[in-house]
């Protein structure tokens, strides 16, 4: 039995709390909102984020983060990526350096362009770190539907420890040493999922979505490799696997947000309508700035950035993508051969 603290009680944090409890671990989950804690205690459900799913009575729920962190072996960072820094800085004194931190958020900080591992390294440099990522909707994990993910850490023993803690008959975990690639794959696919949703909202078909997903994966891998990720990671669960599920499912907040944008809804109204964090909106800004910093050609990301932040017309963005200069599909490979 492992003592686990889940920091963040949204849909994903709640689903993982249920999974870990079912695996026989002692689970304590933190939510910032006292009203939400009271509602969960009263109803036995996290009705706001994970409705119609029973929360086991063994899971302790608290709005006191000190209680949740105290004497835990492993802490799951399940707050949105843009909230990780604040939570860690405000509670830095509560962490023990031996506690393993497992990040499950998927995003890139706007101000610093840091991945979550870089934020953790800055604030809690002595703590062992892993990221858990892959095609995994909370709604399905909570119902024990077969799911497969990746545990990535620079320390092999930490990746394997996390694998052991989370693995179950319905939740298969592979290990991977490529933290950079796994984090970037998980974050950047949300940008492409917005694009896939916009395509749906415009009424376009499967051909369009297939093109967006395929060429979007090229962009993700292109930037990811330049930033130090392993190109093979983007062909795996944290890359193409996560991209597929996020671009095609109505469980995906990013896709649903994209659909509303494609139908002409204003961004502020889209966020209100979804009612939960849409990581891809903030990540689009970070991805655009990273592409500029590393001089990487990311035309889909550039057009989505224009739609979100420069009020660009969505249909004209599609035309821009279709009428770009003629290229070889394997252009990156051709350039390498000719070097």
Q: 241-287, pLDDT tens digit by residue? A: 999 999 999 999 999 999 999 999 999 999 999 988 899 999 999 99
**What pLDDT, on the 0 to 100 scale, is given for residue 323?**
65
Domain total of the chain: 2
Does residue 310 surpass a pLDDT of 60? yes
150 plus 203 within the same structural domain:
no
Model's pTM, two decimal places?
0.94
Does residue 296 surpass a pLDDT of 80? yes
46 plus 57 within the same structural domain:
yes
Beta partners for residue 151, in sequence order: 132, 175
159 plus 285 within the same structural domain:
no
Alpha-carbon span 279 to 79, nearest angstrom: 11
In the chain, how long is the greatest CA-to-CA distance?
66
Q: Choose one of 136, 162, 177: the last residue of a domain.
A: 177
pLDDT digits (tens, 9 = 90+) for 173-214: 999 999 999 999 999 999 999 999 999 999 999 999 999 999
Tokens representing residue 216 in the block: 């979007």
Residue 58 is part of a domain; what is its CATH number?
A: 3.40.50.720
Q: Are 301 and 219 in contact (CB under 8 A)?
A: yes
Confidence of residue 337 (pLDDT cuts 50, 70, 90): very low
199 plus 332 within the same structural domain:
yes
pLDDT digits (tens, 9 = 90+) for 79-106: 999 999 999 999 999 999 999 999 999 9
249 plus 324 within the same structural domain:
yes
140 plus 273 within the same structural domain:
no
Average pLDDT over residues 318-326: 71
3-state secondary structure the chain: CCEEEEECCCHHHHHHHHHHHHCCCEEEEECCCHHHHHHHHHHCEECCCEEEEECCCCCEEECCHHHHHCCCCEEEECCCHHHHHHHHHHCHHHCCCCCEEEECCCCCCCCCCCCHHHHHHHHCCCCCEEEEECCCCHHHHCCCCCEEEEEECCCHHHHHHHHHHHCECCEEEEEECCHHHHHHHHHHHHHHHHHHHHHHHCCCCHHHHHHHHHHHHHHHHHHHHHCCCCHHHHHCHHHHHHHHHHHHCCCCHHHHHHHHHHCCCCHHHHHHHHCCCCHHHHHHHHHHHHHHHCCCCCHHHHHHHHHHHCCCCHHHHHHHHHCCCCCCCCHHHHHHHHC
Residue 251 is part of a domain; what is its CATH number?
A: 1.10.1040.10
Nearest alpha-carbon partner for 79 in 32, 25, 125, 113: 32
152 plus 14 within the same structural domain:
yes
% of the chain exceeding 90 in pLDDT:
91
Please report how many Cα atoms fall inside a 13 Å half-sphere around the Cα of residue 111, on the Cβ side. 7
Alpha-carbon span 222 to 220, nearest angstrom: 5
Average pLDDT over residues 125-151: 97
Does residue 148 surpass a pLDDT of 80? yes
**What pLDDT, on the 0 to 100 scale, is given for residue 321?**
79
Between the two ends of the chain, the Cα-to-Cα distance in Å is 54
**What pLDDT, on the 0 to 100 scale, is given for residue 334?**
45
231 plus 163 within the same structural domain:
no
211 plus 290 within the same structural domain:
yes
Confidence of residue 324 (pLDDT cuts 50, 70, 90): low
Across the beta sheet with 60-62, the strand order is 60-62, 26-30, 3-7, 74-77, 100-103, 129-133, 147-152, 171-176
Domain ranges, residue 232: 180-338
Does residue 143 surpass a pLDDT of 60? yes
141 plus 216 within the same structural domain:
no
Write phi, then psi, for 77 (nearest 5 degrees). Answer: -90, 100
pLDDT digits (tens, 9 = 90+) for 49-79: 999 999 999 999 999 999 999 999 999 999 9
% of the chain exceeding 70 in pLDDT:
95
Tokens representing residue 106 in the block: 């998927």
**What pLDDT, on the 0 to 100 scale, is given for residue 338?**
47
**What pLDDT, on the 0 to 100 scale, is given for residue 317?**
86
Nearest alpha-carbon partner for 224 in 242, 249, 198, 204: 242
Does residue 145 surpass a pLDDT of 50? yes
Alpha-carbon span 247 to 67, nearest angstrom: 38
pLDDT digits (tens, 9 = 90+) for 20-32: 999 999 999 999 9
42 plus 165 within the same structural domain:
yes
Alpha-carbon span 30 to 69, nearest angstrom: 9
Query: Alpha-carbon dihedral of residues 129, 112, 261, 209, nearest 10 degrees?
Result: -60
155 plus 214 within the same structural domain:
no
Residues serving a catalytic function are: 189
Candidate from 49-58, 152-161, 328-337 with smallest mean pLDDT: 328-337
Average pLDDT, the chain: 94
Q: Choose one of 119, 142, 177: the last residue of a domain.
A: 177
> Strand 50-54 and strand 45-46: pairing?
antiparallel
Q: Choose one of 177, 198, 229: the last residue of a domain.
A: 177
């Amino acid at each position: 039995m492992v003592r686990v603290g889940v920091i963040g009680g949204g849909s994903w944090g709640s689903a993982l709390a249920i999974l870990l409890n079912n695996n026989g671990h002692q689970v304590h989950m933190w939510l910032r909102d006292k009203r939400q804690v009271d509602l969960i205690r009263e109803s036995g459900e996290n009705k706001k984020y994970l409705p119609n799913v029973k929360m086991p009575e063994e899971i302790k729920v608290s709005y006191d983060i000190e209680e949740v962190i105290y004497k835990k072996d492993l802490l799951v960072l399940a707050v949105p990526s843009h909230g990780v820094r604040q939570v860690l800085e405000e509670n830095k004194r509560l962490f023990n350096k031996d506690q393993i931190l497992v990040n499950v958020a998927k995003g890139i900080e706007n101000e610093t362009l840091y991945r979550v591992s870089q934020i953790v390294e800055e604030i809690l440099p002595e703590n062992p770190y892993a990221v858990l990522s892959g095609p995994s909707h909370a709604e399905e994990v909570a119902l024990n539907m077969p799911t497969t993910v990746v545990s990535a850490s620079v320390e092999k023993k930490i990746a394997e420890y996390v694998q052991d803690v989370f693995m179950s008959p319905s939740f298969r975990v592979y290990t991977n040493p490529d933290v950079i690639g796994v984090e970037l794959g998980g974050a950047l696919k949300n940008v492409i999922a917005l694009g896939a949703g916009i395509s749906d909202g415009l009424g376009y078909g499967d051909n369009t979505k297939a093109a967006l997903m395929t060429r979007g994966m090229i962009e993700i891998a292109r930037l990811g490799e330049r930033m130090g990720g392993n190109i093979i990671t983007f062909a795996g669960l944290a890359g193409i696997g996560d991209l597929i599920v996020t671009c095609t499912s109505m469980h995906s907040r990013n896709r649903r947000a994209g659909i509303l944008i494609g139908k002409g809804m204003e961004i502020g109204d889209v966020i209100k309508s979804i009612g939960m964090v849409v990581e891809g909106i903030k990540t689009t800004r970070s991805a655009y700035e990273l592409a500029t910093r590393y001089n990487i050609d990311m035309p889909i990301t550039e057009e989505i950035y224009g739609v979100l932040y420069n009020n660009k017309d969505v249909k004209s963005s599609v035309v821009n993508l279709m009428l770009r200069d003629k290229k070889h599909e394997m252009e990156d490979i051709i350039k390498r051969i000719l070097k």
